[in-house]
Amino acid sequence: MAVIDTLPASDILPAEMKTHPVIPVMDLNAQDRPAKKAILRGIRGVIDRNEFVQAPIGQKFEAAFGKWLGQDHVVGVNSGTAALFLALKAMGVGPGDEVITTPFTFIATLESILYAGAKPVLADIESDTFCISPAAVERAVTARTKVILPVHLYGHPADLTRLDAVARKAGAKILEDTAQAHGATWNGRKVGTYGAASAFSFYPGKNLGAYGDAGAVATASPEIAERVRLYRNHGRHSKYQHEVEGYNERLDGIQAAVLLAKLPYLDRWVKARRSQALRYNKALGIASVRSKGIEVPPVRPEAGHAYHLYVIRAKEREKVAGQLKAVGVSTAVHYPIPLHLQPCYKHLGHHAGDFPESERAAKEVLSLPLYPGMTKSQQDRVIRAVKNL
Ligand SMILES: Cc1ncc(COP(=O)(O)O)c(C=O)c1O
């Protein structure tokens, strides 16, 4: 996910780049520097104690993450994708059920529904937050709707108040895709505690990231937690007695140790993301930048944005990205193709024009560099570059 460009040959470098290296979209080394010693100590401990699989270090992380989140049960698994899939299974989702989600997300959200054997039903996003529209969800509800699966995209919470009302009316449950929203809040409470369950990803670039793949399901329900525990470990409680057919989707010990060492830094990292985002909002949310076809998306009053990504809209995105790259500012696009237009999902039967807000977002969104450890002068360079477009 990190975009680290190489410098062009020095004779064609613009003046600014001759003295400054390229600014990446994210820089894990810069973020993790203060935690590195503890991380290495943690990894070493796992090796010394052979705590590789289903070991106490995993439970230790689950307890610590549950305490940080304010949720009763956390079950560690081996990716965010597994967290979504196993949470759906544990919520009883299967063939014949419908799960409503957004086409403007990373593919894993939709994959998990199909893995569970259910039918994905797509509902368009809101133009301001990029998250699923409760009104569109309400229109998509049928008698078969079992779960509503909102994604807190980029770290901005979906409208959990209105989604909860729609879910109650439909007799459906909410599963939150919290992969990008560690530390985000809705009405002052952390997201990931609102739905019947929530799925976290600890992919390395996430707000809390492992040094490999990892994820977790969080829930207040002891039944859902117990089922995820069973499913992640071949459906067993004891070594060779299998209650159900399960999977091998356990959180591994080394990743648990990395996450445990990084967790104490999470709040200050989210705070750093927020203050950098605030600087961008102030500097770029001005008329002269807007006149270049660039828009800084608003944040809902109920939302505590966790700024996993800082995403603007740019009408002429490719041109803007090219101009920023020329002065050493990397950008990225999350995501250029909405899921209903992906070749692999032709079978869902959708066409261009079906979800206009998702399609417009896919054409316009542009992620700017933002990460804990980014210096003020680096950010000033990004701001200058955008203002000079
Ligand atoms: C919104 C969203 N959902 C799900 C996932 C899947 O997580 P993982 O990569 O850990 O399987 C991701 C991760 O990239 C994501 O961004």
Number of domains within the chain = 2
State if residue 378 touches ligand 1 by the CB under 6 angstroms criterion. Answer: no
pLDDT surpasses 70 at 2:
no
CATH number at residue 318: 3.90.1150.10
Mean pLDDT of 125-137: 98
Q: Which of 219, 248, 264 is the last residue of a domain?
A: 264
Q: Are residues 255 and 271 in the same domain?
A: no
pLDDT band of residue 3 (cuts 50, 70, 90) is very low
The pair of three-digit structure tokens given for residue 313, joined into one six-digit string: 């809209």
Q: Are residues 155 and 280 in the same domain?
A: no
pLDDT surpasses 90 at 91:
yes
pLDDT at residue 19 in the model: 64
Q: Using one digit for the tens of pLDDT, what is the confidence trace for 151-198?
A: 999 999 999 999 999 999 999 999 999 999 999 999 999 999 999 999
Q: For Cα atoms 90, 96, 97, give the angle at the middle one, nearest 5 degrees.
A: 50
pLDDT surpasses 60 at 380:
yes
pLDDT band of residue 15 (cuts 50, 70, 90) is low
State if residue 106 touches ligand 1 by the CB under 6 angstroms criterion. Answer: yes
pLDDT at residue 18 in the model: 59
Q: Are residues 259 and 284 in the same domain?
A: no
**Which DSSP symbol is given to 265?**
G
Q: Are residues 57 and 113 in the same domain?
A: yes
**Residue nearest ligand 1's atom 7 by CA:** 80
Q: Are residues 205 and 326 in the same domain?
A: no
For ligand 1, pick from 77, 81, 152 the residue to mutate: most ligand atoms within 8 Å of CB. Answer: 81
Mean pLDDT of 271-276: 98
pLDDT at residue 14 in the model: 61
Bridge partners (DSSP) listed for residue 217: 75, 199
Q: Are residues 230 and 278 in the same domain?
A: no
Give the residue, 10 or 274, on which the prediction is more confident.
274
High-pLDDT (> 70) share of the chain, %: 95
Ligand 1 atom with the shortest distance to the CA of 151: 1
b/e 313-342 (16+ beta carbons within 10 angstroms → b): bbeebeebbeebbebbbbbbbbbebbbbbe
CA atoms 240, 244, 245, 249: torsion sign: negative
Ligand 1 atom with the shortest distance to the CA of 1: 14
Q: Give the Å distance between the CA of 140 and the centre of ligand 1.
A: 24
Q: Are residues 143 and 229 in the same domain?
A: yes
**3-state class of 144 per DSSP?**
coil
Q: Are the C-beta atoms of residues 5 and 330 closer than 8 Å to each other?
A: yes
State if residue 215 touches ligand 1 by the CB under 6 angstroms criterion. Answer: yes
For ligand 1, pick from 102, 106, 153 the residue to mutate: most ligand atoms within 8 Å of CB. Answer: 106
The chain-wide mean pLDDT, for the chain, equals 95
Q: Give the Å distance between the CA of 272 and the centre of ligand 1.
A: 22
Q: Using one digit for the tens of pLDDT, what is the confidence trace for 212-228?
A: 999 999 999 999 999 99
For ligand 1, pick from 156, 180, 208 the residue to mutate: most ligand atoms within 8 Å of CB. Answer: 180
Mean pLDDT of 7-11: 49
Mean pLDDT of 18-44: 94
User: How many angstroms from the chain centroid is the CA of residue 61?
Assistant: 20
What's the CA gap between 96 and 158, in Å, rounded? 26
Domain presence at residue 76: yes
**Dihedral, 83, 88, 94, 98 alpha carbons, nearest 10:** -120
pLDDT band of residue 4 (cuts 50, 70, 90) is very low
Q: Which of 264, 283, 313 is the last residue of a domain?
A: 264
Number of Cβ within a 10 Å radius of residue 113 = 24
Give the residue, 249 or 7, on which the prediction is more confident.
249
pLDDT at residue 237 in the model: 87
pLDDT surpasses 80 at 359:
yes
- Residue-number span of the structural domain to which 122 is assigned: 34-264
Mean pLDDT of 201-212: 98
Q: Using one digit for the tens of pLDDT, what is the confidence trace for 365-374?
A: 999 999 999 9
Mean pLDDT of 111-136: 98
Q: Are residues 121 and 251 in the same domain?
A: yes
CATH number at residue 175: 3.40.640.10
pLDDT at residue 7 in the model: 46
Q: Give the Å distance between the CA of 1 and the centre of ligand 1.
A: 11
pLDDT at residue 120 in the model: 98
Q: Are residues 173 and 155 in the same domain?
A: yes
Q: Are residues 294 and 375 in the same domain?
A: yes
Q: Give the Å distance between the CA of 112 and the centre of ligand 1.
A: 10
Domain presence at residue 2: no
Give the residue, 309 or 237, on which the prediction is more confident.
309
Domain presence at residue 1: no
Ligand 1 atom with the shortest distance to the CA of 202: 10
What's the CA gap between 352 and 27, in Å, rounded? 35
pLDDT surpasses 80 at 5:
no
Q: Are residues 182 and 106 in the same domain?
A: yes
The pair of three-digit structure tokens given for residue 39, joined into one six-digit string: 């991380």
